[in-house]
Structure 1
Amino acid sequence: MLIFNKTYFHPSTFILVGIPGLEAAHIWISIPFCIGYITALLGNSAIMYIIKTDQALHEPMYIFISMLAFSDICTTSTIMPKSLCIFWFSSHEINYAACLIQVFFVHCLSAVESGILAAMSYDRYVAICYPLRYTSILTNQLIATLGIAILIRAATVEIIVIFLVQRFQCFKSIVISHSYCDLMAVVKLIYGDITPINVFGLFSAAFIIFFDVIAISWSYSKILRAVFRIGSKDGHLKALSTCGAHFVVIVVTYVLALFSYVSHRLGQENIPAHVHIFLANIYILIPTMLNPFVYGANTKRIRERVLRMFQCRKDHVPTLR
C-alpha cells in the first residue's frame, strides 16, 4: 500500500471504526446488537423450518414468507458478525475485496427484500380478489420467475455500483466511520469525481423503491376496493386480517429505510455521526428481528403450528414420581 500526500493508492485493507465517538461503550452496545442478531437468526430459521416441514404450508403466501425469512438471515449475517468482532475484539481491519463484497450484499439484499414485499402484496391481491383462481394464478413457476427476477434486478444494479467504485484507485483515507462497509461511507473516501456513483446510486435506489412502492400501492388499492364491496363487517375484518402482518412489515421496513436515507443524505451536519451509524444498523436489524414475530403472531396457520410444537414438547416432558 503506497501513501503519497495523504492519498492511499489501491489500499489492501480498510479500517472500520465501529460507532464513532462511542468506542469506549462498544462492549455495551454489542449486547443489544448480539441479542437482535440471535433473535433474527432463530426467529427466521424457525419460520423457514415450520414452512418446510408442514406440507399444509406449501402455498404461495408461505413460500414468499420463507423467501423473506431467508433474505433476512442473509442480510443480518452480512453485517453483524464483523460488527460484533469490532465491538468485542477490536478487529477493525477488513480486506478491500471483502469490504466491496459487503457493500454489494448489504444493498443487494435490501433491494431483494423490497422486491419480495412487492411480490407479497401481489399475492395478497390475488388471494382476496381472485380466491378461486389463487393457486392457478400463483403457480410455482410464477413464484420462481418472480424470485429470479427480483434477484437479477438487485444483483445487476449492485454489480454496476461496485464496478463504478472499483474504477477508483486513490482514497483520501482508509478509515471508514462505520460499523460495516456502507456504500456512501466508502464513496466519501474516494479521491476523485464521485458524481457518476452518486447519480447512479440515487437513480437505481429511487427506481427500485419507486417501482416496488407503486406495485404495493396498486395491490392494496385493489384490495381495499374488493374489501369494501363485501357486505358484512365480519367479511371486512377477515379480508383485512390476511393483510395485517404484511402491512406491518411494509410500514416498519420502509419507514426505517426512509428515515435512515433522509438522515444520511440531508442531515449530515445536524445529526451526530453515531446517530447515523445507529440508524444504519437499526434499519437492517429491527425488521429482520421483528418479521418472524409479526408473521408468527398474525398468520393463523403459522401461529397454530408453533403452538402445536410447544404442546408436543410439553407432552413429552417426563414427570418425576
Structure 2
Amino acid sequence: MKNLKFLIVMDDIKTINYKKDTTLAMLWAIDERGHTANYCQINDLWLKNGELHIDSQSVKTFKNPEHFYDLGEKATQKATDFDVIIMRKDPPFDMKFLYSLYLLEYAQRAGVLVLNNPQSVRDCNEKLFATQFAHLMTPTTVSQKQSHIREFISEHKDVIVKPLDGMGGMGIFRLTADSPNIGSTLEMLTQLETLPIMAQKFIPEIKDGDKRILIVGGKPVDYCLARIPAEGETRGNLASGGRGVAMPLSVRERELAETVAPVLMEKGLYFVGLDVIGGQITEINVTSPTCVREIDDQCGTQIAHDFIAFVESLVKK
C-alpha cells in the first residue's frame, strides 16, 4: 500500500482529551501504518473558483500525555493534494457545520475520498435517522406541538424528551405523567412550539448502561461500551458522569448492528456509533462517534487501526 496523505478536519487539537479522544487514536493509527496527516478546523476550508482549498498544518502525534502532538506551519493546499479527508468535527450541528459539509462535497466531486460521506452526514440527523428503524426502537414520537408530546406522555407514563441536535446528554429530561414541570420543559425544548423534539418511552434497562456499538466499515466491533449512569442520574453519557464499561456484544446487539450496517454502507457512513438501551436502538451517531479509546484500553482491540485499514481498502478500489 502506498503512503496516503490524510487530512483530519476536527476541533482545535489543543482542546482534546488525551485520555479519551477517538480522533487522536485515528491519528496514531495513520502514523503507525506509514501514512502522513494534516490537520485543520472547519474555518480553514474555503473555495476559490469552484475548487476547495484548505489552510492546514502537518501533524505528528505521540503517545505522551505531556506532549502528544507537533504541528507544522500552516499552508494552503488544494483538497486534491490529499488522498483521504476524515471529518471529525464534534456537534453542535449548526450552520457552520452544515456549510463545512457543503464545502467537503467539492473535494468529493474532485475525486478525494471523504469520510463519512458529507451528504449522508447532512441527511442523517442522529436522532431522526434512527427512526428509519422504528421497529427496532422503543416507542418514539417527534413533534414541536405540546399537545402531541403530552398525549405521548399520558400514554406511556414515563418518557425521555430531548432536542434533535444535542450531544453528550445535553438537554435530556425524564418526564412522568404526574411531573409538575411538563409545560415549562416542553416550552424550553421546543422553543415555544417552534422546534421539533423527540420523546421516547423510558427504557428501565438504562441502569445496565447506554451501550455504544461501533460499526466500522460495515462490521460491528465485537465489544461495546456500556455507559452506566451515575447514582441518581438518568443519562449514561460519559460527558454527564457516566461510567464506561466495555463488554462483548449480546446476540441481540449484534443483530441490531448487522441490520443497520448495510444501510450505513450504502450511504457511505463507514464509522458509526449505534446507541442501544435494553436491546433497542435510541440513536445512530454519524458525525464524530467516540468510545474507541475506552474499548481498546479494556479489551485490547485496535479499532482505529481497523478503520484505517478499511480506508486503505477503499483507496485500493
| TM band (smaller chain) | under 0.3
Structure holding more strand per residue: 2
Structure of greater relative contact order (alpha carbons < 8 Å, 6+ residues apart): 1
Structure holding more helix per residue: 1
Larger radius of gyration between Structure 1 and Structure 2: 1
